[in-house]
Amino acid sequence: MARHLANCIFAHNLLFIGLATNFNFMFKRKIKEWLKRYFWADTLSTIVSIFVAWVIKETTNDRVLAAFLASAFASVIFYGVIILRDVKKSMQSHRLRNKKYQARSILIDFRNLMVEFGPAEVLDVLAVRPFFMYLIPTLMTNFIVGSFIGKTLADIVFFVPAILMYEVRKKHLR
């Protein structure tokens, strides 16, 4: 009986370690995939948004305007990079299958972007990003560091639903 119990515990532990290792491997793979998808778009949008926030604050001393314009520029840069990459990938896929990239293809790419980013972007652009881009620099003595921290906090709030919807889109839409 004790030997049977020990074997069961041993088998359970092996199974658990196997599942944990598999989960760890899958999670690392997912993180690499998400970084590949979002890193350069977010890095470029971060640089531009902090620069815009600084220029607007220095020229107008209006922190609200700086927060909103920095948020707007961040969105334009971020989506510009994502759209260019997605359209290029879609066009290559069509070319490999000897199909033309037509209006329907553009609509599918647009739908995919709306599914992936729509919910996160509405929350982000209307409330979260301007709030953090205004509040955090106001609380700190260094405007640029505060803007960076504010943007980083907004990115965390943004990327949770965006990544969830990206995974949903990959699973259910092509």
pLDDT band at 21 (very low <50, low <70, confident <90, very high): low
The b-or-e profile of 73-83 (16+ CB within 10 A means b, else e) is bbbebbbebbe
Nearest-angstrom CA–CA distance, 34 and 147: 24
CB 100 within 8 A of CB 94: yes
Alpha helices in 61-142 (DSSP H): 63-96, 103-123, 129-139
Identify the DSSP state of 98.
T
So where are the chain's domains? 34-172
Do the beta carbons of residue 53 and residue 130 sit within 8 Å?
no
**Which has the closest alpha carbon to 117: 72, 153, 152, 169?**
169
Q: How far apart are the first and last CA of the chain?
A: 53
* Contact indicator for 162, 120 with CB cutoff of 8 Å: yes
Q: By the 8 A CB rule, do 133 and 154 touch? A: yes
Average per-residue pLDDT in the chain?
86
Nearest to 116 by CA among 83, 91, 141, 150: 83
Q: Which whole number is the average pLDDT over 17-23?
A: 53
Q: At what angle do helices 129-139 and 143-172 cross, to 10 degrees?
A: 160
pLDDT tens-digit map of 78-136: 999 999 999 999 999 999 999 998 999 999 999 999 999 999 999 988 889 889 989 99
CA 48 to chain CA centroid, Å, is: 17
Residue 139 above 70 pLDDT?
A: yes
Euclidean distance between CA atoms 82 and 116, whole angstroms: 11
User: Among candidates 78, 62, 55, 60, which has minimal Cα distance to 125?
Assistant: 78
pLDDT band at 8 (very low <50, low <70, confident <90, very high): very low
Give residue 16's pLDDT.
44
And the tokens for 54?
């600084």
